[in-house]
Amino acid sequence: MSEFSLIINGEQRTVNVDSDTPLLWVIRDTLGYTGTKFGCGRGLCGACTIHLDGEATRSCVTSIDMVEDNSEITTIEGLSEDNPHPIQQAWLEEDVPQCGYCQSGQIMTASALLKRNPNPDETDIDSAMKMNICRCGTYPQIKKAIFSAANNAQSSTGGDDG
Amino acid sequence: MLKAVQGETMDRRDFIKVVSTAGSGFVLGFYIPYTNKLNGKTVAPIIFEPNAWIKVKSDNMVQIIVAKSEMGQGVLTSLPMIIAEEMDLDWSKIIVEKAPADQKKYGWQMTGGSNSVSGGYNKLRQAGATAREMFVMAAAQEWGILSSECKTHNGIVIHESTGRELSYGDLAKKASLQKVPKNPKLKAKQDFSIIGQNVKRTDTLPKVNGTAQFALDVQLDGMLYATVVHSPVFGGKLKSFNEASVNDISGVTNIFEIENGLAIVTQNTWAALKAKKQIEINWDEGEAAGLDSEKIRKDLLDASKEKGGVVRKEGNVKKALKLSENQIEAIYESPLQAHATMEPMNCTAYVQREKCQVWAGTQDPNGARKIASKITGLSKKQVEVNVTFLGGGFGRRAFNDFVKEAVEISNEMKKPVKLTWSREEDMQHDYYRPPSLHVMKGAFDQNNKLSVWKHRITAPSILFSQIVKMPFPFKEKVDIIAVEGAKHLPYKIPNIQVDYQMTKTLIPLGWWRSVYNSQNAFANECFMDELAEKVEKDPVQFRLELLPKSSRDTGVIKMVAEKSGWDQFKNGPNYQGISCHKSFGTWVAQVARVSVENKKVKVHEVFCAVDCGIVINPAIVKAQISSAIIYGLSATLKSKITIKNGRVAQYNFDDFEVIRMNEAPKIHIYLTESDAQPKGVGEPGLPPIAPAVVNAVYAATGNRIRELPIKLS
């Protein structure tokens, strides 16, 4: 067991875990943020996606000793402070989820995409989102929600509709 | 069933709060504190509980109980809509509550067969109408007028001529004293104001902010973690294990044998998953060790040479075949399929001396209760089964093997235990969609009219090998589930024979979204395409000529042909295929548009017409149909389970590949207007997709694909 300190959803935390423990299990079992899901354990399905210093990261294959001290981790619980993040708002408007299990991961991947590329085209969306599996097949609804979040962000910041 | 309840402390696990979100109307959110402590909160007292489904509170809020499992299909929205419609409720004042396992109170709670709405419709309308009528009686009594002078709207009884109004909350006490009406008046369809609307799902908010509680998210004080290693060969038994082989893993507390394999108990999930990979185990592999996919296929082929139990016989097939000079035969095959739900199997159980608590994402809560009672020796009353959200079901969670394991482990430890399977165990220890082989024969008379249809299904039986466990060979020659969609071929053909040859299997089988309909539709509708070609007919025209003009099959085929522009479409660079299949009471026709490049099939667009009777919530129906198309597309283009040396050869999503966003087609869904009883929507979208795509691939390549998933050589 070793001690690690990290910043999760803006909060400084210290954990005592085996150094090969994937972030996923530190987040879920040790810190109790259960919104991040276990799907495959091998970085194949994206259910465990979090933001590590703003980058979409598969937490099930990222062991805690690979993470630099005081790295910033954001989970679905910390994506927005009070109001829903534009991506979550779009998900609500489209009623995207079915079973819902993969949706935290989908939202984390999509929000990282929009941060990097505020106006993605269909190919950009496909290539970012193909990392995340949804067995309910909500892909059409997810795509629609990402476009709508991108458009909303553009119009609310006064950007052109492009 | 009538009782007035005096108040309630919030000690139940399903505490639900209402959240309003800007721009999207009211969304009902779930907040379910899974702790084993009371949270001490109180809510407004329940005043009136006319039946098992409805609880009216003094603050005008109405709790609606849903006794089906929410696995994505929208029952937490569609079932309350039915009650709210007949009860004339204000939708924004509804609290949705999930029922625990209680067969006495709620009846059949198994979620499956696409029957939550179709099976609940009449019962829930009745429940809502009964309550509504009792409010009217109470108001009439209060005002000293006749019930017939009253109207209801949005949770209020109105006396039209005087404009007086009383809310349901105000009337609750008086309503609870009324005689329960035997035949409350139900609304006419044209008066519906909730049914038929795109009401927002009640479970979206918790599913987008991470608070939705799946079984995997349950956390209890003092909880231990566990995983189970199952024999890699089906039916194998544990011989021995080397405990010292995991000595270097910290956090492993106990390792012991349970009925299904070896349980590893730990202080965190990671230790369990690591130990599972590392532990040395000797298995007695048993008789299945020699099994592989080639043998399974050969056994099916051999069995298909002999006639099975006949399930449909019309005309004289033998004679008609003799008279025909134009006939074709083809064999269609489908493989084993895994469910591969996103949430691997898991369950939390806490067995104590006098009670047992279970948290499970199960489609069969009462089955779970029964199993827990059997293992612990406690009465069913002492067993509490809390149904969480299900991270996908598709039939997999109708089996409670994971509940059994969790209860067994907690029973041994006498502590709360969360059991989590690895993805690999989930893939290799599923209850699989059975493999099947279909021998099809068709013949035309001298006028080129289709005169013969023969379909022999050869497949193991889920019912007799898994549910009603019987020694092989079974006395029963016919399994009515295995012939669903084959026996019920809609086309008018003078000579028809459909028979079923039941085979033996050592592989655990289960219900997979749409069950045997997925295979029978593939064989039927691809063979129809072959027959149409044989007489040089357009596939749509060929089907329509064999169907009564007013049939619902005709309705959806015509609709999808029109909406997709079937007649105007020019083949190249994309190509089209059509199919139609009825399952779970619902008719679905689909047109797929595909292209083939470098032997790779790309499905660009799917048009789909659906006749499911009355539509409760069009947005949810469309979402379900779209979901089934994509789920079915994985099995059409990518996934299959193969067996080698008695083991499943696939482990994870790299060798069991499924459709991802970049491969998902554009989907257009059209719902028919109908006054018929509402029928299933969770599964019926699936069966037509494989044949629609396969028929389009033929149009593109001239290759008849008769085996799934599609592989072009």
Residue A160 counted as domain residue: no
Tally of CA atoms within 13 A in the half-sphere of A48 that contains its CB: 23
Is B16-209 assigned to CATH 3.30.565.10?
no
Residue A162 counted as domain residue: no
Report the pLDDT value the prediction gives residue B14, as an integer from 0 to 100. Answer: 28
Kindly report the nearest CA distance between residue B441 and chain A, in angstroms: 35
Q: Where are the domains of chain B?
A: 16-209, 215-286+345-420, 293-337+432-701
Which of A50, A78, A106 corresponds to the end of one domain? A78
For B618, the 3-state DSSP assignment is helix
**A62 with A94, same domain?**
no
- CB atoms under 10 Å from CB of B468, counted, come to 12
Suggest the residue from A99, A113, A126 to mutate for an interface test with chain B (most B CBs closer than 10 A). A99
Kindly report the nearest CA distance between residue A66 and chain B, in angstroms: 16
Chain B partners of A75 at a C-beta cutoff of 8 Å?
A: 210
Residue A161 counted as domain residue: no
The stretch B255-265 carries a mean pLDDT of 98
Cβ-Cβ contacts under 8 Å between A and B: the total is 189
Report the pLDDT value the prediction gives residue B340, as an integer from 0 to 100. Answer: 98
Nearest to A35 among B200, B210, B654 (CB): B210
Nearest to A76 among B24, B209, B219 (CB): B209
* Cα-based torsion angle of the residue sequence B698, B512, B631, A109 in order, rounded to the nearest 10 degrees: -150
Report the pLDDT value the prediction gives residue A83, as an integer from 0 to 100. Answer: 77
Suggest the residue from A135, A143, A144, A152 to mutate for an interface test with chain B (most B CBs closer than 10 A). A135
Residue A124 has pLDDT above 80, yes or no: yes
Peptide bond into B473 cis (omega under 30): yes
**A91 with A133, same domain?**
yes
Task: Provide the terminal-to-terminal Cα distance of chain B, rounded to the nearest Å.
Answer: 65
Is B191 exposed, middle or buried (CB count within 10 Å of its CB: 0-12, 13-18, 19+)? exposed
Which two structure tokens, joined as six digits, stand for B417? 């235990």
Kindly report the nearest CA distance between residue A160 and chain B, in angstroms: 23
Nearest residue of B to residue A102 by CA position? B342
**A70 with A26, same domain?**
yes
Suggest the residue from B269, B661, B663 to mutate for an interface test with chain A (most A CBs closer than 10 A). B661
Residue A21 counted as domain residue: yes
- Among the CATH numbers 3.30.365.10, 1.10.10.60, 3.40.109.10, 3.40.50.2300, which is that of B215-286+345-420? 3.30.365.10
- Among the CATH numbers 3.30.365.10, 3.30.9.30, 3.30.70.920, 3.30.420.10, which is that of B293-337+432-701? 3.30.365.10
User: At A149, which helix (H) or strand (E)?
Assistant: helix A139-156
d(CA A110, CA A90): 11
Residue B24 has pLDDT above 70, yes or no: no
Q: Does B623 touch chain A (CB under 8 A)?
A: yes
Chain B partners of A141 at a C-beta cutoff of 8 Å?
A: 623, 626
**A49 with A68, same domain?**
yes
Same CATH topology for B215-286+345-420 and B293-337+432-701: the answer is: yes
Report the pLDDT value the prediction gives residue B471, as an integer from 0 to 100. Answer: 74
Nearest residue of B to residue A124 by CA position? B662
Q: Per-residue pLDDT tens for A60-116?
A: 999 999 999 889 999 999 999 777 899 999 999 999 999 999 999 999 999 999 999
Residue A107 counted as domain residue: yes
- Please report, for the domain that includes residue A139, its CATH number: 1.10.150.120
Suggest the residue from B208, B626, B629, B633 to mutate for an interface test with chain A (most A CBs closer than 10 A). B208
Question: Do the chains contact at B209 and A84, CB–CB below 8 Å?
Answer: yes
Residue A122 counted as domain residue: yes
Nearest residue of B to residue A50 by CA position? B210
Report the pLDDT value the prediction gives residue A157, as an integer from 0 to 100. Answer: 54
Task: Provide the terminal-to-terminal Cα distance of chain A, rounded to the nearest Å.
Answer: 53
Report the pLDDT value the prediction gives residue B8, as an integer from 0 to 100. Answer: 33
Residue A71 counted as domain residue: yes
Among residues 71-110 of chain B, which lie with CB inside 8 Å of chain A?
71-74
The stretch B529-553 carries a mean pLDDT of 98
Asked whether the beta carbons of B427 and B652 are under 8 A apart, the reply is: yes
Nearest to B654 among A20, A44, A141 (CB): A44
Amino acid B486 reads A
Q: Which residues neighbour B600 within 8 Å (Cβ) at sequence distance 6 or greater?
A: B712
**A95 with A65, same domain?**
no
Kindly report the nearest CA distance between residue A156 and chain B, in angstroms: 15
- High-pLDDT (> 90) share of chain B, %: 91
One-letter-per-residue 3-state SS of B272-318: HHHHHHHCEEEEECCHHHHCCHHHHHHHHHHHCCCCCEEEEEECCHH
**A92 with A143, same domain?**
yes
The stretch B498-520 carries a mean pLDDT of 96
The stretch B393-416 carries a mean pLDDT of 98
Question: Do the chains contact at A100 and B203, CB–CB below 8 Å?
Answer: yes
Among residues 21-60 of chain B, which lie with CB inside 8 Å of chain A?
21, 23-24, 27
**A93 with A125, same domain?**
yes
Report the pLDDT value the prediction gives residue B610, as an integer from 0 to 100. Answer: 98
Lowest mean pLDDT among B4-13, B594-603, B681-690, B696-705: B4-13
| Overall size of chain A counted in residues | 162
The stretch A149-156 carries a mean pLDDT of 80
- Please report, for the domain that includes residue A40, its CATH number: 3.10.20.30
Is B18 exposed, middle or buried (CB count within 10 Å of its CB: 0-12, 13-18, 19+)? middle
* Cα-based torsion angle of the residue sequence B232, B235, B240, B243 in order, rounded to the nearest 10 degrees: 50
Residue B478 has pLDDT above 80, yes or no: yes
What is the spatial order of strands in the sheet that B346-351 belongs to? B252-258, B261-266, B224-230, B417-420, B346-351, B356-360, B383-387
Report the pLDDT value the prediction gives residue B58, as an integer from 0 to 100. Answer: 87
The stretch B510-514 carries a mean pLDDT of 98
Which two structure tokens, joined as six digits, stand for A133? 């599996």
The stretch B2-20 carries a mean pLDDT of 30
Chain B partners of A86 at a C-beta cutoff of 8 Å?
A: none
Chain A partners of B662 at a C-beta cutoff of 8 Å?
A: 126-127, 129-130
Read off the DSSP letter of residue A26.
I
Q: Does B121 touch chain A (CB under 8 A)?
A: no
Which of A52, A78, A104 corresponds to the end of one domain? A78
Nearest residue of B to residue A133 by CA position? B660
Domain count of chain A? 2
Nearest to B273 among A41, A84, A95 (CB): A41
Tell me what percent of chain B is helix, strand and coil, each rounded to the nearest 5.
Answer: 30, 25, 40
Question: Do the chains contact at B391 and A42, CB–CB below 8 Å?
Answer: no
The stretch B497-505 carries a mean pLDDT of 95
What angle in degrees, to the nearest 10, is found between the helix axes of A139-156 and A122-129?
120
Residue B101 has pLDDT above 60, yes or no: yes
| Overall size of chain B counted in residues | 713
Amino acid B124 reads L
Nearest to B653 among A18, A21, A40 (CB): A40
Q: Per-residue pLDDT tens for B330-353?
A: 999 999 999 999 999 999 999 999
Chain B partners of A47 at a C-beta cutoff of 8 Å?
A: 342
Q: Most confidently modeled of B101-110, B427-436, B459-468?
A: B427-436
Q: Which domain holds residue A96?
A: 86-155
Residue B624 has phi, psi (to 5 degrees) of: -70, -40
Nearest residue of B to residue A82 by CA position? B209
d(CA B508, CA B433): 9
Query: Over the Cα atoms of chain B, what is R_g?
Result: 28
d(CA B56, CA B88): 13
Lowest mean pLDDT among B29-33, B247-251, B489-493: B29-33
Q: Per-residue pLDDT tens for B158-204?
A: 999 999 999 999 999 999 999 999 999 999 999 999 999 999 999 99
Asked whether the beta carbons of B607 and B709 are under 8 A apart, the reply is: no
The residue whose two tokens read 């972030």 is: A23
Closest alpha carbon to B517 in B551, B480, B572, B550: B480
Question: Do the chains contact at B210 and A99, CB–CB below 8 Å?
Answer: no
Kindly report the nearest CA distance between residue A15 and chain B, in angstroms: 13
CA distances from B695 to B78, B524, B701, B702 (A): 35, 12, 10, 10
**Confidence class of residue B713 from pLDDT cuts 50, 70 and 90?**
confident
Residue B20 has pLDDT above 50, yes or no: no
d(CA B554, CA B544): 6
Chain B partners of A37 at a C-beta cutoff of 8 Å?
A: 214, 216, 342-343, 391
Question: Do the chains contact at B219 and A34, CB–CB below 8 Å?
Answer: yes
Nearest residue of B to residue A137 by CA position? B627
Residue A47 has pLDDT above 70, yes or no: yes
Residue B660 has pLDDT above 70, yes or no: yes
Higher pLDDT, B441 or B477: B441
Closest alpha carbon to A98 in B16, B623, B21: B623
Residue B5 has pLDDT above 60, yes or no: no
Amino acid A6 reads L
Kindly report the nearest CA distance between residue A162 and chain B, in angstroms: 23
Nearest residue of A to residue B346 by CA position? A38
Checking B314-317 for CB contacts under 8 A at 24+ apart, the result is B314/B493, B314/B494, B314/B495, B314/B496, B314/B497, B315/B494, B315/B495, B315/B496, B316/B495, B317/B452, B317/B454, B317/B495, B317/B496, B317/B497
The stretch B313-327 carries a mean pLDDT of 97
Kindly report the nearest CA distance between residue A103 and chain B, in angstroms: 7
Residue A90 counted as domain residue: yes
Q: Per-residue pLDDT tens for B287-308?
A: 999 999 999 999 999 999 999 9
Nearest residue of B to residue A93 by CA position? B24
Which of A47, A78, A109 corresponds to the end of one domain? A78
Checking B350-353 for CB contacts under 8 A at 24+ apart, the result is B350/B36, B350/B220, B350/B410, B350/B415, B350/B416, B350/B417, B351/B376, B351/B407, B351/B410, B351/B411, B351/B414, B352/B414
Residue B10 C-alpha from the chain's centroid: 32
d(CA B300, CA B436): 7
Q: Per-residue pLDDT tens for A4-44?
A: 999 999 999 999 999 999 999 999 999 999 999 999 999 99
Chain A partners of B420 at a C-beta cutoff of 8 Å?
A: 38
Asked whether the beta carbons of B461 and B421 are under 8 A apart, the reply is: no
